[in-house]
Structure 1
Amino acid sequence: VILTYRSPESWWKSFENTILAGISQSTDQESLGLALISRQVFGGRPHDRANAIAVYEANVRAVIATVPPGRLLVHNLGDGWEPLCLHLGVSVPDQSYPNRNNTKDFQSALAQN
C-alpha cells in the first residue's frame, strides 16, 4: 500500500487550488465533487480549512494504523523513484519521475470544462 503524503499545509494549499476550486464551480448537486467529496468526505464543510485538514490528518492516521508497517510505504512528495521502487521490489526506471496533475494543469483542465 502506498500512502502519498505531504504536510497538512501543503495538502490544503493544493486542495484549495484544485479540488475545492472545482467543487466551488459545480452547480450539479449530484456531481462527484459535491455529492461525494463535499458532503461525504468533508461533512458539507470543504471550505472550512481546519475541518478539511483534520479530515486529511485523520485519514493519514487511519491508513498508518490499519496497514501493517511492512506493507505500507509513506511516500513523501519529492521522494522520487528510489523508495517507491524499493518498496515494490522493482528496478528504478531510466526516466524522470513523473510530475503530472499539478495545480497549473488541473486549473487549465477545469477552465476547459
Structure 2
Amino acid sequence: MKVIVAGIAKTGTTTIASALNLLGYSTYGYIENQYFLHAQWSKIFKNGGTANDFRRMYTDVDAVVDTPCCYYWEELSQAFPEAKIILTIRDEESWYRSLAHQIDMANSSFIYWIMSNFTLSAFTQHYYSRVRDEYLLTVARWPSRKLKIKDKPYLMKLYREHNFYVQMKAPKDKLLVYKVSEGWEPLCKFLGEEIPNKPFPHENKDGSRAKNMLTTKKNVGRKYVRHALISLGGFALVGSYTLYKCYQLWPFSYTRYVARIHYFIFRHLITGK
C-alpha cells in the first residue's frame, strides 16, 4: 500500500482514483471494496480488524479511496506505515449539494434500482447496509429501497469533524491536504511522480456515478448488473412455475368452477362440514 485517501465521498474521490490509476497505481474504491472484499469488511464492521487483516486484504493494492477506507484511514496507516495519506477536501456547501445530487441521481437510475433490489450479494450482505446507512450518510426508504439524505447540519458537522481529525492525527510529513481542482502538480510532487502528459481527469461530475457504473474498473458494474439479471431470471422462472402449478390445481374453467361450488354445497348439506 502506497497511498491512503482519507477524504470522504464527494470530495473528488472518484477523480483522484482515476488520477492514481493513470499514474500506475492499482486502486480500490467503494465498488471494488464492496464486490471483492465485502465479507472481510463485514467482519471488520462487526468485530474490528487487525493490521494483518488489512495487509491480507490489500496485498496487491497500491491505493485505497472512498468509503469505507476513508473512515479506517488510521487503522490502514498502522498496517501500512510507509503509506502516504491524502485528505481530499472541498467547500462544505458544494460538498453537500454534490452528495444530495448523487442521491437524487441514484434514485432515478434504473441501474441502481436493479442492483439494489435484485443483486443478491448487494442486499444480503451486512457490508452493503452498513456502508449505505452509516458511511454514505443516507437512509433507505422502504419498500422502494430509495435513498434519503440525512439532516444537513448533521452532515456538515460530520464533514468538519472528519477533516479536522485527519489533519490533527496524520503525520504532517506524510499528509497532503488536496483539492482535485489543483490538478497534477501538487499530487505528483507529493507522490514523487512525474506529471503525465495527459489531462487531469474529472470523474463523477455532478454525481454521475450512477449512470457510469457499467464502465467502472474491472467491469464490476457490469458484473453486478449480470448478477441482477440472473436473479431476475430466477425469480421469473419460479414465478412462472408457481403460476403453472396453480393453473393445474385450480379449476379455471367456468363449468368446472361451478361444478366445484355445487360439490361443496352438496357436501355441506349432507355432512354439515
Shorter-chain TM-score bucket reads: 0.7 to 0.9
Residue in structure 2 matched with residue 3 of structure 1 by the alignment = 87
Change (3 A) 1:23 1:48: farther
Correspondence 1:38 to 2:133: yes
Please report how far the alpha carbon of residue 52 of structure 1 lies from its aligned counterpart in structure 2 after TM superposition: 0.6
Secondary structure in 1 matching 2:150: coil
Give, as a single letter, the amino acid of the residue that structure 1 aligns with 2:89. Y
Q: Which has the higher contact order (CA 8 A, sep 6+)?
A: 1
**Is contact 1:85-1:92 (8 Å) kept?**
yes
Q: Select the structure of larger CA radius of gyration.
A: 2
Q: Deviations over 1:23-70 (max 9, x none)?
A: 7976759672x5324236649694200101111111101111111111
**Is contact 2:137-2:149 (8 Å) kept?**
yes
Which segment drifts farther, 36-45 or 61-70? 36-45
Correspondence 1:87 to 2:190: yes
Change (3 A) 1:46 1:104: closer
**Structure 2: how far apart are the matches of 1:62 and 1:92?**
30
Unpaired stretches in structure 2, ≥5 consecutive residues: 1-84, 118-122, 140-147, 214-224, 226-273
| Match of residue 171, structure 2, among 56, 63, 68 | 68
Give, as a single letter, the amino acid of the residue that structure 2 aligns with 1:39. E
Please report how far the alpha carbon of residue 100 of structure 1 lies from its aligned counterpart in structure 2 after TM superposition: 1.0
Unpaired stretches in structure 1, ≥5 consecutive residues: none
Please report how far the alpha carbon of residue 93 of structure 1 lies from its aligned counterpart in structure 2 after TM superposition: 0.6
**Is contact 1:17-1:103 (8 Å) kept?**
yes
Give, as a single letter, the amino acid of the residue that structure 1 aligns with 2:133. S
**Is contact 1:3-1:73 (8 Å) kept?**
yes
Structure with higher helix content:
2
Secondary structure in 2 matching 1:78: helix
Residue in structure 1 matched with residue 152 of structure 2 by the alignment = 49
**Structure 1: how far apart are the matches of 2:164 and 2:177?**
11
Change (3 A) 1:23 1:36: farther
Change (3 A) 1:84 1:43: same
**Structure 1: how far apart are the matches of 2:197 and 2:181?**
17
Change (3 A) 1:78 1:41: closer
Residue in structure 1 matched with residue 98 of structure 2 by the alignment = 14
**Is contact 1:4-1:75 (8 Å) kept?**
yes
**Structure 1: how far apart are the matches of 2:198 and 2:138?**
41
**Structure 1: how far apart are the matches of 2:185 and 2:167?**
21
The alignment yields a C-alpha RMSD, in angstroms, of 3.0
Change (3 A) 1:38 1:3: same
Change (3 A) 1:41 1:106: closer
**Is contact 2:98-2:207 (8 Å) kept?**
no
